[in-house]
């Protein structure tokens, strides 16, 4: 968000675009990230671990999920995190499998949200004409960017490095000795990951953005093609 603000000051972007970016970021932080964390707690509870539920995490209330450090990082660097949902794997009958499924619930929820917002974006795009209100175009852009952020959140969390969800999913197939060895270096891998992402962001090349944009383009084109057939 800082880069968008600097672009506004430098005259490289207009105020409306900046305002849309700001609203999108606030919407994702307040509405979409809580869905991700709630999904973790909900699936864990269904699989036998009530820890997240007992900590009040099966809720869409952002105050129960958001971390001020993670939110600040989103505003400054464009990526961040919410408070992890507590989980006691000893409550699972099949610890590795159920822990992996609990972790998978978060990215899946973001992909579902991404699909929903792609559909909304396509609907508003259909009504954009030369004489239509600018409201339709703004709504189309808003939902399109929200869809992108949700897909980006899913892609980011699927990176198979601790403490991201991908590492828990990888545990389903990873031998125990390798799994526990990886988590011995969890803190160092976490810092290394964010430093790497920050460097990529500064040099203008982001593999995560490239993957997320590609998925969004494929999904958006497919949905719009379906709409063009039936409408």
- Per-residue pLDDT tens for 103-120? 999 999 999 999 999 999
pLDDT < 70 regions, the chain? 1-12, 76-79, 129-132, 201-202, 204-205, 231
| Residue 137 is among the residues annotated as catalytic for this protein | no
- pLDDT (0 to 100) of residue 119: 95
Structural domain including 187 reads 2-230
- Among the options 37, 137, 184, 186, which is catalytic? 37
Q: For residue 198, what is the enclosing H or E element?
A: helix 186-203
pTM attached to this predicted model: 0.88
Domain count across the chain: 1
- pLDDT (0 to 100) of residue 145: 94
Q: Around 179, how many Cα atoms within 13 Å sit in the side-chain half-sphere?
A: 15
Longest dimension (CA), the chain: 64
């Amino acid at each position: 968000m800082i880069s968008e603000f600097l672009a506004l000051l430098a005259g490289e972007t207009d105020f409306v675009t900046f305002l849309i970016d700001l609203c999108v970021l606030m919407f994702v932080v307040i509405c979409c990230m809580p869905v991700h964390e709630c999904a973790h707690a909900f699936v864990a509870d269904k699989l036998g671990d009530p820890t997240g539920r007992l900590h009040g995490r099966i809720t869409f209330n952002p105050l129960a999920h958001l971390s001020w450090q993670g939110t600040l990082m989103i505003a400054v660097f464009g990526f961040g995190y919410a408070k992890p949902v507590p989980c006691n794997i000893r409550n699972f009958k099949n610890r590795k499998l159920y822990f992996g499924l609990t972790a998978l619930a978060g990215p899946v929820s973001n992909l579902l949200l991404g699909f929903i917002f792609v559909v909304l974006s396509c609907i508003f795009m259909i009504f954009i004409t030369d004489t239509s209100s600018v409201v339709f175009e703004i709504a189309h852009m808003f939902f399109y960017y929200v869809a992108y952020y949700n897909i980006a959140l899913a892609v980011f969390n699927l990176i198979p490095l601790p403490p991201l969800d991908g590492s828990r999913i990888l545990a389903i197939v990873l031998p125990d000795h390798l799994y526990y060895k990886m988590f011995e270096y969890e803190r160092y891998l976490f810092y290394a990951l964010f430093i790497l992402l920050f460097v990529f962001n500064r040099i203008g090349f982001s593999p995560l953005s490239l993957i997320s944009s590609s998925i969004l383009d494929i999904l958006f084109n497919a949905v719009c093609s379906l709409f063009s057939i039936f409408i």
